[in-house]
Amino acid sequence: MSRRTLLLGGLGVLGVLGPFLVWAFVVAQPPRPDIRLERDIVFGHAGDETLRLDLAMPNDGMGPYPAVVCIHGGGWVGGDRKQMHSTIEVLARRGYVAIAPDYRVAPAHRFPACVEDCKHAVRWLRAQVGKYPIYPLRVGVVGLSAGGHLACMLGVTDAGDGLEGTGKHASQSSQVQAVVSFAGPMDLTAEELWSQETLTRNLIPLLGGPPREKPERYSQASPVRYRPRTPPPFLLVHGSADTVVPIAQAHALADRLREVGGQARVVVLEGAGHTWAGDNLRLSIDKMLTFLDETLKK
């Protein structure tokens, strides 16, 4: 068996920690299944912006496969889908069709543009049945940091919440059947998130003003504020020592989901901050893959 480095993806932090960090680890691997990669696929337009995605899938001529949308981090003001290249490759080798989409970022594009684009990517994916071996009733979403927030927004909202946008494939559903968040913020109305750096660099650019001026917008952008009728299963992975997004955020969303009859698991990485490596990284990836297999490969 060979040893190689796997990248789960760049964890784009909320801006407070500076540049993007990369989650990486080395594991022993058996020979890898063959996969097919496609880059720079146009999945839509938003104003004068062209939205693209990258796609990875098994190349064994079988299927259909469940699908996973992988959302990059970047504090809603940056980041790049290329952060998720290794993530979609790992998922394709696991038996998924995986995509990493663009989404518009602030301050040029304020909330809910980022959510609209992620929903657009889910609808696009479902519309490709026939072109790609996708099982359209089994679509999951994975996100890192701000991407974890967006993944959870997809999990708690539906067409009645007014966040679908005007992208194509309106006849397709943007609902997802499984959600994984790594260190995602869940309640933007919580003062524990309102450090001066995070407000200045992230929340005010995203939401158009400070909390006292835009309370409705902060609430609308908070997954914990929704009460979905039939939420999908959630896996929330969080470091116990995260000072950027306190772990209480993950527990708050899990509690809300259980209140409405949903399923939510919180995996606590002891001693980890907003990013992690080594054994915690191995554990988080194992938990993600096991959870996706359990929920999407029934």
Options 145, 174, 222, 284, the catalytic residue: 145
Identify whether the C-beta of residue 264 lies closer than 8 Å to the C-beta of residue 179.
no
Digit-coded pLDDT (tens) for 150-175 = 999 999 999 999 999 999 999 999 99
Long-range contacts of 86-89 (CB under 8 A, 24+ apart): 86/6, 86/7, 86/8, 86/9, 87/7, 87/8, 87/9, 87/142, 88/54, 88/55, 88/56, 89/35, 89/37, 89/56
Helix (H) or strand (E) holding 259: helix 248-259
Active site residue 145: yes
pTM: predicted TM-score of the whole model, two decimal places: 0.92
| Chain-centre distance for alpha carbon 141 | 6
**Beta bridge partner(s), residue 7:** 24
The DSSP annotation for 135-199 comes to EEEEEEEEEETHHHHHHHHHHH--GGGS--TT-S-TTS----SEEEEES----TT-GGG--HHHI
3-state secondary structure (DSSP) of residue 125: helix
Side-by-side strand order, sheet with 264-269: 35-46, 49-58, 97-101, 65-71, 134-144, 178-182, 234-239, 264-269
Digit-coded pLDDT (tens) for 181-210 = 999 999 999 999 999 999 999 999 999 999
Domain extent at residue 116:
2-296
Distances (CA, A) of 201 to 1, 208, 229: 45, 12, 34
pLDDT per position in the chain (298 positions), as tens? 222 223 333 333 344 422 233 343 334 345 568 999 999 999 999 988 999 999 999 999 889 999 999 999 999 999 999 999 999 999 999 999 999 999 999 999 999 999 999 999 999 999 999 999 999 999 999 999 999 999 999 999 999 999 999 999 999 999 999 999 999 999 999 999 999 999 999 999 999 999 999 999 999 999 999 999 999 999 999 999 999 999 999 999 999 999 999 999 999 999 999 999 999 999 999 999 999 999 999 7
3-state secondary structure (DSSP) of residue 43: strand
| Number of domains present in the structure of the chain | 1
Active site residue 173: no
Identify whether the C-beta of residue 140 lies closer than 8 Å to the C-beta of residue 72.
no
Q: What is the 3-state secondary structure (H, E, C) of 91-106?
A: HHHCCCEEEEECCCCC
**Beta bridge partner(s), residue 44:** 51
Options 72, 149, 169, 274, the catalytic residue: 274
User: How far apart (Å, rounded) are the C-alpha atoms in residues 238 and 111?
Assistant: 24
* Residue 61 per-residue DSSP state: S
Active site residue 242: yes
- Please state the φ and ψ torsions of residue 43, each to the nearest 5 degrees: -110, -5
Q: What is the CATH number of the domain that holds 131?
A: 3.40.50.1820
* Residue 129 per-residue DSSP state: B
In the block, tokens 């980041």 appear at 79
In the block, tokens 């209480």 appear at 248
Instruction: Return the structure tokens found at 163.
Output: 């966040």
User: How far apart (Å, rounded) are the C-alpha atoms in residues 59 and 164?
Assistant: 32
